Amino acid sequence: MSKYSPQFKLKVVKDYLKSGGQRWLAHLYEINTSDIRKWTLSYQSNGLSSLKKRVYQHHTPEFKKSVIQYVKV
């Protein structure tokens, strides 16, 4: 589970892009400056979807075995 919601991340990123000052924002929101930097770079390169929670796929053992067999052939 993500520590921060996508809405919070977006708010911090927009505040940073609007006013700048990583240290000030980090102190204001009580977060690390590295988080602000990561979120901002991610948002600028990939947009809003990069701030949202990722959903990982779960594969059955049978499917994994079939993939391995396919690759071996």
- Output the pLDDT for position 52: 85
Amino acid 54: pLDDT: 75
Distance, CA of 19 to CA of 22 (rounded, Å):
9
Q: Does the model's pTM come out above 0.85? A: no
Residue with the bigger pLDDT between 55 and 6: it is 6
Give me the phi and psi of 23, to 5 degrees please: -65, -45
Judge whether residue 1 has pLDDT over 60. Answer: no
pLDDT of residue 62: 94
Reported as a pLDDT band with limits 50, 70 and 90, residue 57 is confident
